[in-house]
Amino acid sequence: MIYLVGLLLVVLLGIAIAVAAKLQKVMGSTQSESEAPVPNNKANGALWLVFLVGGSVAMVWSYLASQDAFLPEASSPHGRETDSQFWLDMGLLTIAFFIVNFLLFFFSWKYQYKKGYKATFYPENHKLELIWTAIPAVIMASLVFLGFRSWTKIMSDAPADSQVVEIMGKQFGWIVRYGGVQDNKLGGYNYKLIDDNNNNPSGIDYSDEASFDDFINVSEMHVEVGKPVSLKIRARDVLHSVYIPHMRVKMDAVPGMPTKFWFIPDKSTEQMRAETGNPNFDYEIACTEVCGRGHFAMRLRLIVEDKASVDAWKQQQKPVLSTILEADPKFITKIPEKLRAKAMNYAPYVEEADSTTASTGSAAAASASMR
Ligand SMILES: [Cu+2]
């Protein structure tokens, strides 16, 4: 060990001596050649200017050329607010970018080597330092303050009159759940109840009677224009992320950790079709977290329309409970006894059901009497 350290010491000492010798040589050469002509001095100086002009043109061009890739115009108030802040930030950054780069390239050209010129040693200027520290600090602090104010507003709790919609990401698609048309209230859920084979892909918990009229849709989400939408976000398997570009909505869907996001869609699909001149325009909900092979196909249509149309659509949707009971009438036994009678209202084919238990029979009777 001691030999190894000794060897290392010798090697490092050797390197130190070599560096010192090299330094000596470089210092000697700069002193002796300071008055020697510098090759290509003028051309190098001119190149700085060429880069300044060429770079500025390229920057403006790249900005204009990529406009198609910018986000579309926002269709929600908070979207327009974040956009205006984005462009404020972008504007200030662009000004700073041009000032800094102009000085960098222009000075490099202006203060190129000239015979007889002497550099001035300029160690400190407190006034200048104060200016270039204070101005950016004030601007940055204002931007942070503005951003924080918007952030707290956007991430606040959804208004009480929101339309509540649950959206659950899974490999590979979205399951949208509504609180139904009877109570318009989302029922409970439990991940242990998730069962694709038995028509309960989002794990609706039927020990909660608010679940009975809940319906799901895997291709469309319908919301009312101008009214807050409160998204309850869940994930069934891996990380997904709810992304509605026009609404400026983006929130991760995390397994085991419900997230949320609320927004106001204030332009209907119809209005957007007229504005864009595209009769096939549709708002899109996409997944923006690479979640596996079928990630690219996680697309859902968002339809923003008036209340009457949303209500009419809701009326056409079939409660999940009806689908479950139709496929498996015995499912009724899994519902708490005191709720069975109410649950049977959702089972149109109850007469065909196996009514071996007294309670199922009475529930069937109750259901029949209600129809
Ligand atoms: Cu995905």
Tokens matching residue 50: 């060429």
Q: What is the pLDDT of residue 35?
A: 59
- Name the least confident of 39-53, 230-244, 248-262: 39-53
Q: How confident is the model at residue 328 (pLDDT cuts 50, 70, 90)?
A: confident
Q: What is the pLDDT of residue 365?
A: 40
Q: How confident is the model at residue 40 (pLDDT cuts 50, 70, 90)?
A: confident
Smallest Cα–Cα separation from 250: which of 267, 238, 233?
233
**Distance from the alpha carbon of residue 293 to the mean position of ligand 1, in angstroms:** 9
Q: Would the pLDDT of 356 be above 70? A: no
Q: Would the pLDDT of 10 be above 80? A: yes
Q: How confident is the model at residue 347 (pLDDT cuts 50, 70, 90)?
A: confident
Q: What is the pLDDT of residue 370?
A: 40
pTM here? 0.74
**Distance from the alpha carbon of residue 239 to the mean position of ligand 1, in angstroms:** 8
Tokens matching residue 297: 């196909």
Q: Would the pLDDT of 231 be above 60? A: yes
What element of type H or E holds 309? Answer: helix 307-316
**Distance from the alpha carbon of residue 241 to the mean position of ligand 1, in angstroms:** 7
**Distance from the alpha carbon of residue 55 to the mean position of ligand 1, in angstroms:** 38
**Distance from the alpha carbon of residue 63 to the mean position of ligand 1, in angstroms:** 29
pLDDT in tens, 164-219: 999 999 999 999 999 888 777 888 888 888 887 778 888 888 778 788 888 888 99
**Distance from the alpha carbon of residue 299 to the mean position of ligand 1, in angstroms:** 9
Q: How far apart are CA 343 and CA 204, in angstroms?
A: 14
Q: What is the pLDDT of residue 369?
A: 39
**Distance from the alpha carbon of residue 168 to the mean position of ligand 1, in angstroms:** 12
Q: Which position has the higher pLDDT, 370 or 87?
A: 87
**Distance from the alpha carbon of residue 231 to the mean position of ligand 1, in angstroms:** 18
Q: How confident is the model at residue 357 (pLDDT cuts 50, 70, 90)?
A: very low
**Distance from the alpha carbon of residue 294 to the mean position of ligand 1, in angstroms:** 7
Q: Are 370 and 345 in contact (CB under 8 A)?
A: yes
Q: What is the pLDDT of residue 31?
A: 56
Q: Would the pLDDT of 53 be above 90? A: yes
Q: Would the pLDDT of 226 be above 60? A: yes
Q: Would the pLDDT of 285 be above 80? A: yes
**Distance from the alpha carbon of residue 178 to the mean position of ligand 1, in angstroms:** 22
> How far out from the chain centre does Cα 270 lie?
25
**Distance from the alpha carbon of residue 124 to the mean position of ligand 1, in angstroms:** 55
Q: Is 146 helix (H, G, I), strand (E, B) or coil?
A: helix
Which percentage of the chain shows pLDDT scores above 90? 54
Q: Would the pLDDT of 135 be above 90? A: yes
**Distance from the alpha carbon of residue 283 to the mean position of ligand 1, in angstroms:** 18
**Distance from the alpha carbon of residue 167 to the mean position of ligand 1, in angstroms:** 13
Three-point CA angle 266, 269, 271, nearest 5°: 75
Structural domains in the chain, sorted by start:
75-112+125-156 (no CATH), 163-350 (2.60.40.420)
Phi first, then psi: give them for residue 340, nearest 5 degrees: -60, -40
**Distance from the alpha carbon of residue 270 to the mean position of ligand 1, in angstroms:** 28
Q: Would the pLDDT of 277 be above 80? A: yes
Q: How far apart are CA 150 and CA 78, in angstroms?
A: 8
pLDDT in tens, 309-321: 999 998 888 888 8
Q: What is the pLDDT of residue 278?
A: 93
- Please tell me whether the peptide bond between 145 and the residue prior to it is cis, using omega within 30 degrees of 0: no
